[in-house]
Amino acid sequence: MKKTRNEKVNICMVGAGYVGLVSGACLAELGHRVVCVDNDPRKIKMLEKGVMPIYEDDLERVVKKNVKAGRLHFASSVKEGMLHEGHRADAVFIAVGTPPRDDGSADLSAIEKVSEQVALNMTDYTVIVEKSTVPVSTCDWIEKTVKRNNGRHIPFDVASNPEFLREGTAVWDFLEPDRVVVGVSSKRAEELMRRVYKPLKKAPIVVTSVKSAELIKHASNSFLSTKISFINAVANVCERTGANVEDVARGMGLDKRIGASFLKAGIGFGGFCFPKDLEAFYWLSRQVGYDFDLLKTVKDINEGQKLWMVKKVEDELWNLEGKTVALLGLAFKPETDDMRFAPSIDIAAEFLKRGAKVRGFDPVSQENAMKVMKGVHFARDAYDCVKGADCVCLVTEWKEFARLDQKKLMTAVKHPIMVDGRNLYDPAKMRDLGWTYKSVGRP
Ligand SMILES: NC(=O)c1ccc[n+]([C@@H]2O[C@H](COP(=O)([O-])OP(=O)(O)OC[C@H]3O[C@@H](n4cnc5c(N)ncnc54)[C@H](O)[C@@H]3O)[C@@H](O)[C@H]2O)c1
Q: Is the CB of 46 under 6 A from ligand 1?
A: no
Which residues, in sequence order, are bridge partners of residue 33? 10
Ligand 1 pocket test: which of 14, 39, 96 has the largest number of ligand atoms within 8 Å of its C-beta?
96
State in Å: Cα 359 to ligand 1 middle: 30
Burial class (CB in 10 A: 0-12, 13-18, 19+), 413: buried
Pocket test for ligand 1, best of 18, 101, 129 (most atoms within 8 A of CB): 18
Q: Side chain identity at 214, as an amino acid letter?
A: E
State residue 1's pLDDT score: 43
DSSP 358-376: EEEE-TTTHHHHHHH-TTE
pTM as predicted: 0.94
CB of 295 sitting under 6 A from ligand 1: no
pLDDT of residue 104: 86
**Which is the closest atom of ligand 1 to the Cα of 96?**
24
Per-residue model confidence as pLDDT tens for the chain (443 residues): 444 456 899 999 999 999 999 999 999 999 999 999 999 999 999 999 999 999 999 999 999 999 999 999 999 999 999 999 999 999 999 999 999 999 989 999 999 999 999 999 999 999 999 999 999 999 999 999 999 999 999 999 999 999 999 999 999 999 999 999 999 999 999 999 999 999 999 999 999 999 999 999 999 999 999 999 999 999 999 999 999 999 999 999 999 999 999 999 999 999 999 999 999 999 999 999 999 999 999 999 999 999 999 999 999 999 999 999 999 999 999 999 999 999 999 999 999 999 999 999 999 999 999 999 999 999 999 999 999 999 999 999 999 999 999 999 999 999 999 999 999 999 999 999 999 999 999 99
Which is nearest to 287 in space by CA: 103, 113, 96, 100?
103
Does residue 21's CB lie within 6 angstroms of at least one atom of ligand 1? Answer: no
Q: What residues are labeled active site?
A: 273
State whether the beta carbon of 14 lies less than 6 angstroms from ligand 1.
yes
Assess whether the C-beta atom of 40 lies below 6 angstroms from ligand 1.
yes
User: What is residue 2's predicted lDDT score, i.e. its pLDDT?
Assistant: 46
Q: 271-291: buried (b, 16+ CB within 10 Å) or exposed (e) per residue?
A: bbbbbbbbbbbbbbbbeeeee
Please report the pLDDT score of residue 6 as a whole number: 67
The answer to whether 165 and 22 are in contact (CB under 8 A) is yes
- Which of 398, 391, 106 is CA-nearest to residue 273? 106
Task: Say if residues 35 and 12 touch (Cβ distance below 8 Å).
Answer: yes
b/e per residue 366-383 (b: at least 16 CB within 10 A): bebbeebbeebebbeebb
Residue 260 is classified by DSSP as S
Q: What backbone phi and psi angles, to 5 degrees, belong to 223?
A: -65, -40
Query: Which domains are present in the chain?
Result: 10-207 (3.40.50.720), 222-439 (3.40.50.720)
